[in-house]
Amino acid sequence: MAKEIPDLVAEERVGTGKGAARAARRAGMVPGVVYGGDTDPLSIQIPFNVLLKKLKAGKFKSTLWNLKVEGQEDVRVICRDVQRDVVKDLPTHLDLMRLRRNSEINLFIPVEFINEDTCPGIKKGGMLAVVRPEVELVVIAGEIPEKLTVDLANSAIGDVITISSIELPSGARPTIDRDFVVANIAAPGGISAADEDEEEAAGEEAAAEE
């Protein structure tokens, strides 16, 4: 099932340049530009309070949005940049990029675990230790999955669920090359070796990004 794409409602902005952008901000709007695709760039503005609420909710830049502008056809976009005031850290401008249905994008997809109540390992006292409640995937814009599903019906204490054991949607692939841990059934009162290995690997990833 494809993930429902949330709407991002904006207005077309009259004029370009710093003067028009300042006028938008004085009116309580955040100016922005929509670019990409086979169409000319479109100047837009979004109510400040609306944008701020969406930014505080998190994952604004990793969410695929259905941009709605009166007088324009709806288009799928992803945010490429949000400029902020250096002192107040509040949004002052945003850049949105149009996407075709066959475009590839990176998105975090939530992981759902089913059949915990019948899981043999949990029934024997084990605990579901979720290492990654969501996984970053490269997905096709027109085929975004709502979630990844892990069936625990046959999982025992000590079992490790890696990304390779999860069926991914057609065209989707992890952004991390190695076979990383998503969850495991840990023994009561202890941290599994899989947890330790994953924490060590995550530390190595963070060090590599610095």
147-192: pLDDT as tens digits: 899 999 999 999 999 999 999 988 899 999 999 999 999 998 755 4
- The pLDDT value recorded for residue 150 is 96
Coil, strand or helix: which one is 205?
helix
* Cα–Cα dist 51/170, whole Å: 33
Considering only CA atoms, give the Rg of the chain: 21
- Which residue do the tokens 């947890």 mark? 195
Q: Is 52 exposed, middle or buried (0-12, 13-18, 19+ CB in 10 A)?
A: middle
- The pLDDT value recorded for residue 22 is 87
- The pLDDT value recorded for residue 68 is 96
Query: For the chain, which residues score pLDDT lower than 70?
Result: 1-3, 190-210
β-sheet bridge partners, residue 76: 66
Indicate the pTM of the whole model.
Answer: 0.65
- Which residue do the tokens 């610095």 mark? 210
* Cα–Cα dist 162/177, whole Å: 12
Alpha-carbon 56 to chain mean position: 14
- The pLDDT value recorded for residue 162 is 97
